[in-house]
Amino acid sequence: MAAISTERRPDVHEAQPPDVRQYYAINQSVYGWFARYYDAVTRPLRRLRREVVALAGAPGGARVLDVATGTGAQALAFADRTAEVIGVDVNDAMLAVARRKPRPDHVSFVRADATHLPFPAGRFDVTCVSFALHEMPPSVRDRVVREMARVTRHQGTIVVVDYALPANRLASALTSRLVRLYERDHYAEFVRSDLPALFEGVGIAVRADHRTLLGNVRILVGDKVT
Ligand SMILES: C[S@@+](CC[C@H](N)C(=O)[O-])C[C@H]1O[C@@H](n2cnc3c(N)ncnc32)[C@H](O)[C@@H]1O
């Protein structure tokens, strides 16, 4: 793999607003201890990982970036038939778990802040982020999606996988209450936010808006058109 430039400064927090500083601080304190349990807790998502790969439709030999990769489960699901998969994350404990997993040579894990991805424009055929945008303050979320669009080639694919609310109002209210027990800060605003508009604002045309796991998870697939 080519050396990763560190010129785009990773996680620079000092000059950030309080909600952004708090989000980075929570990231370090929570994932610092949760990393070792993360794969056990998210084991039921294994089938979903394959579904995401199928919906992304990466061409053979594709270069894939998994943003906020955590312990690398989604990155590793992209390993078959691709030429390169890079998972980036800002948390060393999560990356340490990812790096301990068996993986082919073309899969690697890099420490980087998704708001300042250390890659040139158009470097990847497919860029994916799963279960991370809901943790971010809106300003950070916007920046991450903009960065994903920047590093994806023209006509390349951008995939967002994250929480959604079921269409049924009772199920939606129950889900929302349940998830808010452990996703406290930005989830409630995130699940009601307009992700297709966020895509369109950075030059991504929505190709598919797929709901799965009883409507509790959304897989939004877009094509970079500008
Ligand atoms: C809930 S985990 C999801 C991990 C993985 N994508 C998955 O689907 O299992 C959220 C991950 O996002 C990472 N993350 C949050 N903000 C980030 C940022 N600005 N840059 C890179 N990674 C970030 C966290 O460190 C954590 O590993």
Secondary structure class of 176 (helix, strand, coil): helix
Q: Whose CA is nearest to atom 9 of ligand 1?
A: 70
Q: Whose CA is nearest to atom 23 of ligand 1?
A: 68
149 found inside a domain:
yes
Question: What confidence score (pLDDT) does residue 8 get?
Answer: 54
pLDDT digits (tens, 9 = 90+) for 143-194: 999 999 999 999 999 999 999 998 888 888 888 888 777 777 888 899 999 9
Is-above-0.95 flag for pTM?
no
38 found inside a domain:
yes
Pair of tokens at residue 121: 């424009």
Q: Does the CB atom of residue 139 touch ligand 1 within 6 A?
A: no
Question: What confidence score (pLDDT) does residue 177 get?
Answer: 80
Rounded Cα distance, 174 and 158, in Å: 30
The residue behind tokens 């691709």 is 82
Which atom of ligand 1 is closest in space to residue 11's alpha carbon? 19
152 found inside a domain:
yes
CATH code of the domain in which 99 resides:
3.40.50.150
Q: Which domain holds residue 212?
A: 18-224
46 found inside a domain:
yes
Integer CA distances (angstroms), 173 to 188, 191, 210, 216, in order: 11, 12, 20, 11
10 CA distance to ligand 1 centroid (A)?
A: 14
114 pLDDT above the threshold of 50: yes
Q: Whose CA is nearest to atom 13 of ligand 1?
A: 68
200 CA distance to ligand 1 centroid (A)?
A: 23
Quickly list DSSP for 69-115: -TTSHHHHHT-TTEEEEEEEES-HHHHHHHHHS---TTEEEEE--TT
Which residues, 6 or more positions from 177, have their beta carbon under 8 angstroms from its beta carbon? none
189 found inside a domain:
yes
Rounded Cα distance, 206 and 12, in Å: 31
Pair of tokens at residue 71: 């312990």
53 CA distance to ligand 1 centroid (A)?
A: 18
Rounded Cα distance, 8 and 24, in Å: 17
1 found inside a domain:
no
204 pLDDT above the threshold of 90: yes
Rounded Cα distance, 102 and 123, in Å: 25
Instruction: Identify the bridge partners of residue 176 per DSSP, sorted by sequence position.
Output: none
99 found inside a domain:
yes
Secondary structure class of 131 (helix, strand, coil): coil
Rounded Cα distance, 108 and 140, in Å: 24
Which atom of ligand 1 is closest in space to residue 66's alpha carbon? 6
pLDDT digits (tens, 9 = 90+) for 5-34: 444 555 555 678 999 999 999 999 999 999
Question: What confidence score (pLDDT) does residue 29 get?
Answer: 92
Ligand 1 pocket test target in 9, 48, 89 with most atoms within 8 Å of CB: 89
114 CA distance to ligand 1 centroid (A)?
A: 9
Ligand 1 pocket test target in 49, 117, 131 with most atoms within 8 Å of CB: 131
pLDDT digits (tens, 9 = 90+) for 205-214: 999 999 999 9
Q: Does the CB atom of residue 157 touch ligand 1 within 6 A?
A: no
Give how many domains the chain has, as a whole number. 1
Backbone angles phi, psi at 168, to 5 degrees: -65, 130
pLDDT digits (tens, 9 = 90+) for 54-112: 999 999 999 999 999 999 999 999 999 999 999 999 999 999 999 999 999 999 999 99
Quickly list DSSP for 34-46: HHHHHHHHTGGGH
7 found inside a domain:
no
Q: Does the CB atom of residue 70 touch ligand 1 within 6 A?
A: yes
Which residues, 6 or more positions from 173, have their beta carbon under 8 angstroms from its beta carbon? none
